[in-house]
Amino acid sequence: MFDIMGQMSQSTDLLRTALAAGEGVLRLAPCWVPRSFLMPGGRLKLHPGDIYALGAHRGGIDERWFSSTTNADNGPGTPDDEGLSYVVIPNGGDSPAKILLKRAVEDLGDEILGKEVMRQHGGWNVLCKFFDNLGPIPHHMHQDEVAAKRVGRRGKPEAYYFPPQYNYKENNFAYTFMGLEPGTTKDDVWRCLERWNEGDNGILYHSKAYKLKPGTGWQIPAGVLHAPGSAVTYEPQVNSDVFGMFQSMVEGRAVPWDLLVKDVPPEHHQDFEYIIGMLDWGKNVDPYFMKNRFFEPLPVRSVEEMAEDGYREVWVTYSTADYSAKELTVLPGRTVTIRDAAAYGLILTQGRGNVGVWDAHTPAMIRFGELTADEYFVTASAAAAGVRITNASADENLVMLKHFGPDNPDARPLEK
C-alpha cells in the first residue's frame, strides 16, 4: 500500500508540475489507433513506413485520437493503453515523462475540468479523433444508451467535420451513405441480414449517398446507419466505441457477422428482431435527413468584428448537449486572447506560433512514437481566463480545432 500511495503522490506532483509549467495548458502526445477491417488513407501525416507500426495483423493506423480517456475496443491483442492520450511532463531533458490524461482527470479532475463538470459527469466524457480511410467504412450504427447499457457500455451519437487542410485529395469514395430511404421497411433490412453470407447483402440499395464537402459537417444520432466515405474526418462523439456493422461486404472484402453483433448480448446474436430494433427507425427514414443533419460552420460572433481583432472562430459541431467543437483561425502576424466557458482539447491543422506558453506548429511528417507540438488540452480555469495565441507567420493562417465535452455553456443556445 505504501508503494501505491507513493506512486500516486509522485504522479500528482508531476501533473501539478505540468499544469504550472503550461499555465493550465497541457501538452499531449499523439495517440494512434489501428483498425484491422479498414484500409488507411495515408493523410494523417504519419510516416508511410509507420502505418503498420503495430503489425499487419492489427491493421493499419487510420485514426488519431485526441485528448482521449477512452480505451480503443479493438479485440484480442489490444494493448491496455490503446486509444488513451498521454500528458507530456516537461523536465528539461530529452525524454520527458508521460502520464495518462485519464489518470490526470482521475487525480486532479476538479483542477482540470472544474468541480461542476466532475460533479455532474465524473470525468471527460467525450472522444474526438481524425479518421482517414482509402475507401468507405461499412454501413453501421452505434447503439443508443439503452442498447449499449445492456453490454456495459455507453451509447454513442457522433458528429463529422471535414477539415480542408487534411482533405487535399478525396481518395476512393468521398461520399457517405446515411440513414435509409423513406419507405424502407424493417422487412427490407431483415432480408439483408438473411443474405449476410451470400456476398453483398444489399443494404446500400436502401440508403442514399451524400457528397462530402470540406469545411462542412454532419450530426449522426445513435441508432442511425451511416457508411463514412473517404474524406479525412474530425469526429467529436460520446466517449464510447460501440458499433454494429449492417453491411456484409465493402469494396469486395467480407465483413464478419461478429462485427454486427460485437455489442449485442450473446443471447441475441442471431435475433434479427433485436438487431433491427437497435435502429432508431424514425431518424433513419427521415425524409428531411439532410436538412436535419447537415451543418455549415456558424460564426461565434460578428465576422467583421472578429476580422478586426485578428481571428475567425466558427462552430463546426453544434446542436447537441453531448459535445461541441469550434475551428479557430488566427490571422498572420496577429495575437489574440480567446476565452471559453469549458475545458477543451485542441489540434492544430495549419501554421505555427504560440499557444499560451507553448511553441506550437503543425508537423509535415510524424514518426510513430515521436512527440509533436500540435496537440494540447486547455483546463477549465485556463479557458475561462483566456489563452493567448500568436500566429508567428507573416503569411499563413494558424488554424486549430477545439472540442468540448457535454453541456458546454457557450454551446447551449445552439442546441435543438
Nearest CA among 178, 168, 179 for reference residue 214: 168
66 and 179 together in one domain? yes
Could you give the CA distance from residue 295 to residue 325 in angstroms, rounded to a whole number? 12
278 and 407 together in one domain? no
71 and 207 together in one domain? yes
Q: Which residue has the cell 464510447?
A: 240
Could you give the CA distance from residue 111 to residue 287 in angstroms, rounded to a whole number? 46
On the question of pLDDT at 370 being above 80, the answer is: yes
Terminal CA-CA length for the chain: 50
Give CA separation, 271 vs 193, 195, 197, in Å.
10, 15, 16
Mean pLDDT of 354-377: 98
Could you give the CA distance from residue 153 to residue 385 in angstroms, rounded to a whole number? 35
On the question of pLDDT at 75 being above 90, the answer is: no
Confidence of residue 11 (pLDDT cuts 50, 70, 90): confident
Mean pLDDT (the chain, rounded): 95
On the question of pLDDT at 210 being above 80, the answer is: yes
408 and 308 together in one domain? yes
Task: Indicate whether 117 belongs to any domain.
Answer: no
161 and 203 together in one domain? yes
Domain ends where: 285, 308, 338?
Answer: 285
Could you give the CA distance from residue 326 to residue 195 in angstroms, rounded to a whole number? 42
Length of the chain: 416
Task: Indicate whether 255 belongs to any domain.
Answer: yes
Could you give the CA distance from residue 180 to residue 7 in angstroms, rounded to a whole number? 52
Task: Indicate whether 315 belongs to any domain.
Answer: yes
250 and 320 together in one domain? no
On the CB side of 12, CA atoms within 13 Å amount to 12
CATH classification of the domain holding 136: 2.60.120
- Sign of the C-alpha dihedral computed for residues 321, 143, 237 and 16 taken in this order: positive
Task: Indicate whether 111 belongs to any domain.
Answer: no
Task: Indicate whether 290 belongs to any domain.
Answer: no
Domain ends where: 285, 320, 351?
Answer: 285
The three-state (H, E, C) secondary structure of the chain, written as one string: CHHHHHHHHHHHHHHHHHHHHCCCEEEECCEEEECCCCCECCCCCECHHHCCCCCHHHCCEEEEEECCECCCCCCCCCCCCCCECEEEECCCCCCCEEEEHHHHHHHHHHHHCCHHHHHHHCCCCCEEEEECECCCCCCEECCCHHHHHCCCCCCCCEEEECCCCCCCCCCCCCEEEECCCCCCCHHHHHHHHHCHHHCCCCHHHHCEEEECCCCCEEEECCCCCEECCCCCEEEEECCCCCCEECCCEECCEECCHHHCCCCCCHHHCCCHHHHHHCCCHHHHCCCCHHHHHEECCEECCCHHHHHHHCEEEEEEECCCCCCEEEEEEECCCCEEEECCCCCEEEEEEECEEEECCEEEECCCCECCCCCCCCEEEECHHHHHHCEEEEECCCCCCEEEEEEECCCCHHHHHHCC
234 and 133 together in one domain? yes
Mean pLDDT of 338-352: 98
Nearest CA among 54, 242, 252 for reference residue 135: 252
Mean pLDDT of 170-191: 98
pLDDT for 10: 80
On the question of pLDDT at 93 being above 80, the answer is: no
Domain ends where: 285, 313, 339?
Answer: 285
310 and 405 together in one domain? yes
Task: Indicate whether 153 belongs to any domain.
Answer: yes
Nearest CA among 190, 129, 136, 176 for reference residue 156: 129
pLDDT for 63: 97
On the question of pLDDT at 90 being above 90, the answer is: no
pLDDT for 96: 86
Q: Which residue has the cell 435543438?
A: 416
Q: Which residue has the cell 427490407?
A: 188
320: CB partners within 8 A, 6+ apart = 157, 159, 219, 415, 416
212 and 244 together in one domain? yes
pTM over 0.85: yes
pLDDT for 8: 57
Task: Indicate whether 202 belongs to any domain.
Answer: yes
Residue type, 148: A
pLDDT tens string 381-409: 999 999 999 999 999 999 999 999 999 99
Bigger pLDDT: 94 or 222? 222
Domain count across the chain: 2
With a pLDDT cut of 70, the percent of the chain lying above it is 97
250 and 151 together in one domain? yes
Residue 164 pairs in a beta bridge with none
CATH classification of the domain holding 400: 2.60.120.10
pLDDT for 7: 55
41 and 133 together in one domain? yes
Task: Indicate whether 75 belongs to any domain.
Answer: yes
In this structure, what are the phi and psi dihedrals at residue 295, rounded to the nearest 5 degrees?
Answer: -135, 130
Could you give the CA distance from residue 188 to residue 194 in angstroms, rounded to a whole number? 10
181 and 49 together in one domain? yes
Domain of 259 in residue numbering reads as: 32-84+127-285
